[in-house]
Amino acid sequence: MSASVLSAVGAVVLGYLLGSIPTGVLLARRHGVDLRRVGSGNIGATNVARALGKRMGVIVLVLDALKGLAAVGIASALGEPDPVRAGVGMAAVLGHLFPIWLRLHGGKGVATSVGVLLGLVPAAGAAAAIAYLIVYATTRTSSRGSLAASAAALLAAPFVARSWPGVVLPAALFCTILVTHRDNVRRLLRGEEGRV
């Protein structure tokens, strides 16, 4: 196996491990709260906000995004090409969704996805972040913001990506967000989705 392949595999594994750090669970535990037993049971920022307040929710949101940004940043520092960087970013999101430390029961991947996009396709990542903030601010519904963010990145990527992985990755993340938010989508269609 060549050195370049070993480097790429190592970067992908590192991306997964970074993504799998359960920041919400760790911070909630410091406050005596088992995040998986309160609210929705989800380990992400929205459930942290419900359980511990907005400030803690924002902290987890930023930390989860930084996981994705750091994974892509490390791959960039190692000189990996865009396809590998995209793979590392996807591995970070999958690490958040299926963390080895929590028996593969993780979050929904939105913040980590935005971080990955900011690292690989900054303009698409910025579009996602702005879309989330606008939709969340007007609806107070995190799932609407999440779906809007993934759609914004998907639509922006073909115009701002410098290579094909920058178009394919937002599409893969869009599909991932749809799957992880399938229950939210059903509640939205029924008009039963709760606000934060």
What are the tens digits of pLDDT across the range 41-65? 889 999 999 899 999 999 999 999 9
Give the residue-averaged pLDDT of 5-22.
94
Q: How far apart are CA 136 and CA 1, in angstroms?
A: 47
Given phi > 0 = left and psi -120 to 50 = alpha, else beta, which region is 140? left
Q: What is the pLDDT of residue 194?
A: 75
- pTM of the shown model: 0.94
Cα–Cα distance for residue pair 5/172, rounded to 1 Å = 23
- Whether residue 196 is contained in a domain is answered as no
Report the candidate in 109, 97, 29, 102 with the shortest Cα–Cα distance to residue 65: 109
> Looking at the domain assignment, is residue 30 inside a domain?
yes
- Tally of domains in the chain: 1
**Residue corresponding to tokens 């994705």:** 68
Cβ atoms of residues 149 and 115 within 8 Å: no
Domain that holds residue 28: 3-190
Could you give the percent of the chain with pLDDT greater than 90? 86
CA max distance for the chain? 54
195 lies in a domain?
A: no
Helix axis angle, 45-52 relative to 54-77, nearest 10°? Answer: 150
